[in-house]
Chains A and B, each alone.
Chain A
Amino acid sequence: MKKLFTIFLFMLLLSVTVNAAANMEIAFWTHEDPNRTEIEDRYIAEFEQANPGVTIKRVTSGSGQIQELILTAFAANQGPDIFNMSIEDEYAYIVNERLAPLDFQAAGYPSLQAVYDTYVPGVLDPVTYKGQLYGLPLELTNWCIFINKKVFRDAGLDPEKDYPKTWEEMVEVSDKLCIREGEILKRRGFDFRYPYYLVATVPMVEQLGGQLISDDGKTAIVNDEAWLKFLKFMQEWGPSGRNLGSPTYTNARKLFNMDNNDIGMCHTGLYQIGRIKADNPAFYDSKEWMVVPFPVFKDAVKDVPAAYYGHYYMVNGQKPKENQQMAWKFVAYMLSHPEEYLIKVNIVQPTVELMNSETYKSMPYSDVFGDDMAKGHIVYYGENSAKIQSLIKEAVESVMLAGVSTEDALKTLRRKVQEVLDEG
């Protein structure tokens, strides 16, 4: 009886061990995007069917919250197997060696070079560190200006001719598009996406000849004149200046899709087209919207459009080797559908094949985005880029809202960014 019980116990333990080895759960955390959810849920079902015993658990969070969720999870050594964020938030994970380098064999490539050859040159540079590759791009995005033609015509303007080509024209056109009730803006002409200063506003400084950080990476804030002119521009834009917009109003990009006569222009990426289609098909079908290039200052010394940024899929280096391999295999499976991502989600996975495809070239306004991207550069990224971005936010919002002079704001910004650089 005792012997029988021991055998039974042994068999039970063995079955539990075998079962645990056969079943693998891959946690995949990503930002909310209903259009992506639809196709990625299907990829998950297909992948699970092709790989019995593997379960992919996809968890989505708001694009503003995911950074701290992933950070706190990693701080507690409980990070997901796969995640993605914008490169300026992801880079700290690379330099702190929290990630698994790409397993090219698990991802289905014959060599690491084959991975580099698949993508447009330079796209994988931000995720290459000490000779290892740490990410594959979910999307590469730049921003142009989206225009609501009805709002232009309502203000007596011709959208095809009168759209703003310079920031000075942006002020004048916006002023004409605004509908005010006293000091309160009922309709804004254009407004910025305020939290994303590295993407859209640092290029404005660069147009004027300034730089965030010197070429040798040691000095913060290059060319005071350019920075002061930019800060003055933002001060004039705000409620204490010409009152054209403010960070305290609802995000312009969110309002744009609704076509509620409360915003004339906003800046955003190609993915916005997919979101207009999903949120407001009537507005999408009406063709009462168009996309134009990112403006430059009249006296710009450089033609710099908005910086492009990448969202890269990354794999947690603290997970067991077999999880890492399975995670890379799944990432590669998802990314083997770049055309579907482009058609259904309007995001660009910058493979050489996709960028040369008819699908991409025939995409509405892909030429506008493509031309701007060709002139631009990747967003500033570093271990402390998230902090530097919030310091620029502080400076801009202090001149727009808190009555701080542009000189004082610049002085504070320089001191703080320099401290970040000095601390490494």
Chain B
Amino acid sequence: MSKRKTSYSIERKKTRWGWIFVTPTLIFFLLFSFYPIFNAFYTSLFNKKLLSLKPPDFISFNNYSYLLKSLDFWDSIRATLVFTLGTFTPLLIFSLIFAIFIMSRKRLQKFFQIAYYSPAVLSSVVAAVIWLLIFDPRGLGNQWLNLIMNTPGIDHKWLANSVMVQMSTMLVYFWKYVGYFTIIFIVGLASIPQSIYEAAKIDGANDWKNFWYITLPLLKPTTILVSIMSMLQCLKTFSTQYLFTQGGAPLAPINVITLNVYHTAIRDHQIGRASAMSIILFAIMLFFTWVQFRTSRADEISY
């Protein structure tokens, strides 16, 4: 009886300390994540103008029905999905390749890690400004490509063509984030015990078989983490598209949802409608995250 009482009180003590440690994070999330989400949802039910001091009219789900009928909004969904697919897929594949490449090096591992990671340290705005200069018709982009392809004088219209401008935004994002996800893969690769590879070597497995039958399956949790993080990052993209349009690029091909939210709120002063748009984006992100978890349920790995 006293044994049960002791374990019960230890359990309670543990729980109490658990709550003490978790509370600051919970408060932080409540204040800076959950409250803005609920507030955005509440605002989305009103015809609220950013500058108006009059109490806004309650319009129920009218902002949502307007958006679902709006060609502009559907164009933003298209631009966001194209960007996400075009960036997230190479990000996932190349960060894994780069991680394996770095891990296979016996020397200069740290140098490669820093080299790949360094663009991630830059703010997105600075990165976009650097690339704006590169993509200027007289900039390095045209000079390099013309030198490599031996096509002097060709303007590749990095920002002045609807297909190229989409490719350019993808390139900037890929450059900026590939190092970040490479480092996460490196951590995942380092956690796979060497003994498994040694056992496989004794059984006569080559590097290719090691990769397909050991590395890739054991890396599944990291792959899921990277795929969710990179996908969410892509869905939230803003500063590259914003700065490119400021630099003269046409809006429609790269009018991603976040940029549309910004224009609707700041340029058009329609904060209610912009909130509805951000709630839809939140729902899209939630949906894709759920799909990724559903399709990769057996992600518990034990060595």
Interface residues of A (CB under 8 A from B): 64, 68, 71-72, 74-75, 92-93, 96-98, 180-186, 194, 238-239, 246-250, 384, 386-387, 390, 393-394, 397-398, 400-403, 416
* A185-B137, A387-B267 as given contacts; A248 in contact with B247, CB under 8 Å: yes
B252 touches A394 (CB 8 A): yes
A403 touches B162 (CB 8 A): yes
Bound CA–CA A416/B154 (angstroms) = 35
Interface residues of B (CB under 8 A from A): 49-53, 72, 135-138, 142, 152-155, 157-162, 246-253, 263, 266-269, 271
- Smallest Cβ distance from B159 to chain A, in angstroms? 5
A246 touches B51 (CB 8 A): no
Task: Determine the chain A residues whose CB is within 8 A of the CB of B153 once the complex forms.
Answer: 180-184
A92 touches B252 (CB 8 A): no
A-B contact pairs, 23 of them (CB 8 A): A71-B51, A75-B51, A98-B51, A98-B53, A181-B153, A182-B152, A182-B153, A182-B154, A182-B155, A184-B138, A184-B153, A185-B138, A194-B248, A248-B137, A248-B157, A248-B247, A248-B249, A394-B250, A397-B250, A397-B251, A401-B162, A402-B252, A416-B72
Bound CA–CA A181/B266 (angstroms) = 40
B52 touches A401 (CB 8 A): no
Quick one: closest B residue to A186, CB to CB? B138
- Smallest Cβ distance from B131 to chain A, in angstroms? 13
Bound CA–CA A92/B249 (angstroms) = 27
- Smallest Cβ distance from A382 to chain B, in angstroms? 12
- Smallest Cβ distance from B110 to chain A, in angstroms? 39
Bound CA–CA A64/B245 (angstroms) = 13
B160 touches A246 (CB 8 A): yes
Task: Determine the chain B residues whose CB is within 8 A of the CB of A248 once the complex forms.
Answer: 135-137, 157-160, 247-249
- CB contacts between A and B, total, < 8 Å: 98
Best-buried of B52, B137, B252, B266 by chain A (most CB within 10 Å): B137
Task: Determine the chain B residues whose CB is within 8 A of the CB of A185 once the complex forms.
Answer: 137-138
> 8 nearest interchain CB pairs?
A182-B153, A247-B248, A183-B155, A248-B248, A96-B51, A402-B162, A402-B250, A401-B250
- Smallest Cβ distance from A63 to chain B, in angstroms? 13
- Smallest Cβ distance from B242 to chain A, in angstroms? 11
- Smallest Cβ distance from A147 to chain B, in angstroms? 23
7 new A-B contacts, CB < 8 A, other than A180-B153, A194-B248, are A71-B269, A75-B271, A96-B53, A182-B153, A246-B137, A248-B249, A416-B72
Partner of A239, one of B51, B53, B135, B160: B160
* A186-B138, A403-B162 as given contacts; A71 in contact with B155, CB under 8 Å: no
B267 touches A75 (CB 8 A): no
Partner of A386, one of B137, B161, B250, B267: B267
A184 touches B267 (CB 8 A): no
Bound CA–CA A50/B2 (angstroms) = 83
* A96-B52, A249-B248 as given contacts; A402 in contact with B253, CB under 8 Å: yes
Quick one: closest A residue to B132, CB to CB? A248
Partner of B246, one of A64, A72, A182: A64
Quick one: closest B residue to A92, CB to CB? B51
Task: Determine the chain B residues whose CB is within 8 A of the CB of A402 once the complex forms.
Answer: 161-162, 250, 252-253
- Smallest Cβ distance from B64 to chain A, in angstroms? 17
Partner of A387, one of B50, B136, B268: B268
A92 touches B160 (CB 8 A): no
A183 touches B154 (CB 8 A): yes
Quick one: closest A residue to B248, CB to CB? A247
Bound CA–CA A153/B53 (angstroms) = 58
Task: Determine the chain B residues whose CB is within 8 A of the CB of A72 once the complex forms.
Answer: 266
Task: Determine the chain B residues whose CB is within 8 A of the CB of A397 once the complex forms.
Answer: 248, 250-251
B138 touches A93 (CB 8 A): no
Quick one: closest B residue to A72, CB to CB? B266
Task: Determine the chain A residues whose CB is within 8 A of the CB of B158 once the complex forms.
Answer: 248
Bound CA–CA A303/B43 (angstroms) = 48
Bound CA–CA A149/B246 (angstroms) = 31
- Smallest Cβ distance from A83 to chain B, in angstroms? 13
Bound CA–CA A385/B92 (angstroms) = 43
A401 touches B249 (CB 8 A): yes
Bound CA–CA A250/B52 (angstroms) = 37
Task: Determine the chain B residues whose CB is within 8 A of the CB of A194 once the complex forms.
Answer: 248
Quick one: closest A residue to B157, CB to CB? A239
Task: Determine the chain B residues whose CB is within 8 A of the CB of A384 once the complex forms.
Answer: 268
- Smallest Cβ distance from A242 to chain B, in angstroms? 14
Bound CA–CA A238/B160 (angstroms) = 9
- Smallest Cβ distance from B134 to chain A, in angstroms? 12
Bound CA–CA A182/B249 (angstroms) = 21
- Smallest Cβ distance from B257 to chain A, in angstroms? 17
Quick one: closest B residue to A389, CB to CB? B267
B49 touches A96 (CB 8 A): yes
Best-buried of A183, A400, A416 by chain B (most CB within 10 Å): A183
Bound CA–CA A4/B90 (angstroms) = 76
Partner of B152, one of A96, A98, A181, A394: A181
Quick one: closest A residue to B47, CB to CB? A423
